[in-house]
Amino acid sequence: MSTNSTTAPTHQNYIGGEWRAASDGALDAHHNPARISEVTGHFPRSTDDDVRAAVDAAEAAYPAWRDLSVFARAEYLKRALALMSERIDRVSQVITTENGKTLAESRGEIVSAIKEMEHQIHQGLRDLGEIAPSAQSGVLAYQYRRPLGVCAVISPWNFPFNVPGRKCTPALIAGNTVVLKPASLTPNVGLEFTRLFADTGLPKGVLNCITGSGSGAGESLLNDSRIKAISFTGSTKVGIHINQLAAGRLVRTQLELGGKNPMVVLEDADLDEAASACATAAFACAGQWCTSTSRVIVAKKIAGPFVEAVLAKAQALRLGNGFDPATTMGPVCGTQQMKNILDFIEQGKQEGARLLTGGRRAAGEGLDDGCFIEPTVFSEVNPGMTITQEEIFGPVLSVFTADSFDEAVNIANGVRFGLASSIYTKDLERAMKFLEKTEAGLTHVNMMSAYKEPQLSFGGIKQSGSGIPEAGRTGIEFFTEHKVAYIKYRS
Ligand code: NAP
Ligand code: MG
């Protein structure tokens, strides 16, 4: 039973520069993952009419926004960035309230979003296209990129601020207008993201935000024939569905999907560094990074001390409310997510994996009403097990041992996903061989699987991603089409 359902605030969509309730007034309650009985707010369950109104607004705003100079567009976006820095405390509180991650993790998410967004704004100011020599004299030949129109951004709950930032910034700087549909587990983060732009005077309709379910508002947005591009981050299952839907209209998609990221630790690795990186990449944000390490493959010779070091770090984590500064691991994001993870853990046990630590819903003072799961480590796993094949998306690590480098690489590659991978070794030759063989969009040598920088693209291969990747130079490429011009200025 909710204790405060009637006192929790009611939020509104942002459509065409106005904050508006759903057209039929319907609302969904959101629950705090650290205290499930607490309702954090009520959010519009957007109808088809609301979605249409958001696309109408984005369509109406497009010509004027497109025709502004890129420098003028950059000024608007820079103002929103400045406001992000000013509001970092408030917005990180919203992230922790809805997602559960610690305040430090929420702050880190915003800091990294600001860096990525800054980079995309500057990239927009640099992307001038290219002049090519012409075969004819008196002909100027060049190519450049131009915006598409109204773009849909559908974001997940695990990085509810960073992902909209990484997608909306290149879309907007390039001259598109956007309708954002945040995950229903983190609607207020999406609205707070949008508010930063609204409060700095972005022209009406350039960025719109509608809340509601994926199968309702999300699906309705994707089905609007005026949408020119769909940038989606979320599960592989929904990504494939979106791709099928978009293919029917030749709408481009950018899909950043699930992972089952491996870390290989060879016998010459720095054990302390490798164990720290493994524990951080497995348990930070309660294992809900898309680039989390969920499988570690250790050389048999060093498996004993390595596993001991990882277990010590897992057991030292302090579970609790993300607002408590002593907390080092918050809850997982909601009751459904908790159930999924506990089901996977049960399946791991039934399939014969050996539970080394954790494995239960955490109990005790301050935990009983929340979605807390103990950091969990399994050993004696094999590639045939569900827990080593499926994305669990929680604080669950599987430890394999390998007799040889080749065996380690085979295990690492033996999944349908290909987002991030890492290797710890001092042997340059084997590190380079791993880079050649590993099937992942991002690979790290002596660095953890979750590391990234804004100058470089971010995206997976295999079932972890499809389309032009986000960030780096490709961030804007996805949201633009090419245009070639030949101009005869002298006969
Ligand atoms: P999800 O269930 O696939 O949902 C993602 C978004 O899609 C949400 O906004 C969701 O709305 C919406 N959605 C669901 N069904 C839809 C439909 N039929 N049409 C349109 N929209 C729909 O994923 P999630 O559980 O939020 O996020 C976790 C997943 O994201 C994990 O698999 C993780 O690996 C992945 N991820 C990948 C990356 C990457 O860069 N590769 C980064 C972060 C996360 P609702 O919330 O209302 O369902
Ligand atoms: Mg989901």
User: What is the atom index within ligand 1 of the atom nearest the CA of 185?
Assistant: 46
Q: Taking the CB of residue 204, how many other CB atoms lie within 10 A of it?
A: 17
Distance 16 CA to ligand 1 centre (A): 25
Q: What is the pLDDT of residue 170?
A: 98
CA of 290 to the centre of ligand 1 (A): 11
Give the Cβ contact number of residue 5 at 10 Å. Answer: 13
Q: How far is the CA of 295 from the centre of ligand 2 (A)?
A: 22
Q: What angle do CA 82, 83, 88 make, to 5 degrees?
A: 105
Confidence of residue 127 (pLDDT cuts 50, 70, 90): confident
Assess whether the region 13-257+464-484 and the region 261-453 belong to the same CATH fold: no
Residue-averaged pLDDT of the chain: 97
Query: Is 70 exceeded by the pLDDT of residue 23?
Result: yes
Residue 491: band (very low, low, confident or very high) from pLDDT cuts 50, 70, 90: confident
Tell me what pLDDT residue 357 has: 98
Which residue's structure tokens are 């000013």? Answer: 86
Average pLDDT, stretch 234-259? 97
Question: How many beta carbons lie within 10 A of that of residue 488, not counting itself?
Answer: 11
Amino acid at 39: V
Nearest residue by C-alpha to atom 30 in ligand 1: 234
pLDDT more than 70, % of the chain? 99
Which of 158, 161, 210 maximizes ligand 1 atoms within 8 Å of its Cβ, making it the mutation to test the pocket?
158
Residue 401 has pLDDT above 80, yes or no: yes
Helical pair 405-413 and 428-437, crossing angle rounded to 10 deg: 30
Q: 135-141 contacts: CB < 8 A, separation 24 or more?
A: 136/488, 137/490, 138/488, 138/489, 138/490, 138/491, 139/486, 139/487, 139/488, 139/489, 140/485, 140/486, 140/487, 140/489, 141/484, 141/485, 141/486, 141/487
Q: For a pocket test of ligand 1, which of 191, 193, 235 has the largest count of ligand atoms closer than 8 A to its C-beta?
A: 235
For residue range 321-343, list pLDDT tens digits in order: 999 999 999 999 999 999 999 99
Confidence of residue 1 (pLDDT cuts 50, 70, 90): very low
CATH topology of domain 13-257+464-484: Aldehyde Dehydrogenase; Chain A, domain 1 (3.40.605)
Strand partners, 35: 32
| 430-462 confidence digits (pLDDT tens) | 999 999 999 999 999 999 999 999 999 999 999
pLDDT higher than threshold 80 for residue 128 = no
Helix or strand (DSSP H, E) at 210: none
Residues with Cβ within 6 A of ligand 1?
154-159, 181, 183-185, 213-215, 218-219, 222, 233-235, 238, 241, 256-259, 290, 391, 393, 419, 460, 464-465
Measured from the alpha carbon of residue 238, the closest ligand is 1
The token duo for 67 is 């025709």
DSSP H or E segment with residue 407: helix 405-413
Q: Reduced to 3 states, what is the DSSP secondary structure of residue 292?
A: coil
Positive or negative torsion for Cα 344, 347, 353, 359? positive
Most informative mutation of 45, 231, 233 for ligand 1 (most atoms within 8 A of CB): 233
Q: Six-digit token pair at 435? A: 């880079």
Q: Per-residue confidence at 2, pLDDT binned at 50, 70, 90?
A: low
For the CA of 213, the nearest atom of ligand 1 = 47
Active-site residue list: 256, 290
pLDDT, tens digit, 9 for 90 and up, residues 42-56? 999 999 999 999 999
Spatial distance between the Cα atoms of 20 and 22, rounded to a whole number of angstroms: 7
261-453 maps to which CATH number? 3.40.309.10
Residue 355 pLDDT greater than 50, yes or no = yes
Residue 129 alpha carbon to ligand 1 centre in Å: 33
Instruction: Say which ligand is closest to the CA of 157.
Output: 1
User: What residue segments make up the domains of the chain, in order of their start?
Assistant: 13-257+464-484, 261-453
Residue 294 to residue 283: CA distance in whole angstroms: 9
- As a dihedral over the C-alpha atoms of residue 223, residue 228, residue 231, residue 236, rounded to 10 degrees, the angle is 50
Assess contact for 423 and 411: CB atoms under 8 A.
Answer: no
Kind and range of the H or E run holding 150: strand 150-154
Provide the pLDDT for residue 3.
Answer: 65
Q: What's the mean pLDDT in 311-319?
A: 98
| Smallest CA separation from ligand 1 atom 39, residue | 256
